[in-house]
Amino acid sequence: MRILGVDPGLTRLGLGVIDAGRARQARMVAVDVIRTPSQDSSDVRLGRIADAFDTWLDNYRPDVVSIERIFARNDVSTIMGTAQASGLTMGLAARRGIPVAMHTPSEVKAAVTGNGRADKKQVTHMVTRILKLDSPPKPADAADALALAICHLWRGASSALSTPGSTKDVVDRQRAGRQGDNLTPAQRAWAQAIRDAR
Residue 188 is assigned to a structural domain of this protein: no
pTM flag (> 0.85) = no
- pLDDT of residue 179 exceeding 70, the answer is no
Domain assignment present for residue 141? The answer is yes
Please provide residue 20's backbone torsions phi and psi, each rounded to the nearest 5 degrees: -90, 130
CA distances from 30 to 2, 63, 76, 87, 183 (A): 11, 15, 31, 22, 27
Q: Angle between the 42-60 and 76-95 helix axes, to the nearest 10 degrees?
A: 40
Does residue 51 lie within any of the structural domains? yes
List of E strands, the chain: 2-7, 12-20, 26-35, 64-68, 100-103
* 197 within a domain of the structure (yes/no): no
Using CA atoms, how far apart are residues 146 and 100, in angstroms rounded to an integer? 15
pLDDT at 160: 38
**In this structure, is residue 121 part of a structural domain?**
yes
Q: Is the pLDDT of residue 184 over 60?
A: no
**Residue stretches of the annotated binding site for Mg(2+):** 7, 68, 141
Residue 41: the pLDDT is 96
Given a contact cutoff of 8 angstroms between Cβ atoms, the answer to whether 136 and 143 are in contact is: yes
Q: What is the pLDDT of residues 8-52, one digit of tens each?
A: 999 999 999 999 988 889 999 999 999 999 999 999 999 999 999
pLDDT tier at 73, thresholds 50, 70, 90: low
- The identity of residue 155, as a single letter, is R
Binned at pLDDT 50, 70 and 90, residue 195 comes out as low
Total domains in the chain come to 1
Q: What percent of the chain has pLDDT over 90?
A: 70
Q: Which residues are annotated as a binding site?
A: 7, 68, 141
For β-strands 12-20 and 2-7, DSSP reports them as: antiparallel
Range of the domain at 107: 2-163
Give the residue numbers marked as catalytic.
7, 68, 141
pLDDT of residue 67: 97
Question: Is residue 189, in this structure, part of any structural domain at all?
Answer: no
Any idea what the CATH number is for the domain that residue 85 is in?
3.30.420.10
What are the pLDDT digits (tens) for 106-161?
Answer: 999 999 999 999 999 999 999 999 999 999 999 999 999 999 999 999 987 543 34
Query: Buried (b) or exposed (e) across 163-186, using 16+ Cβ within 10 A?
Result: beeeebebeebeeeebbbeeeeee
Q: Is a pLDDT exceeding 50 seen at residue 57?
A: yes
Task: Classify residue 149: in a domain, yes or no.
Answer: yes
Q: Indicate the average pLDDT of the chain.
A: 85
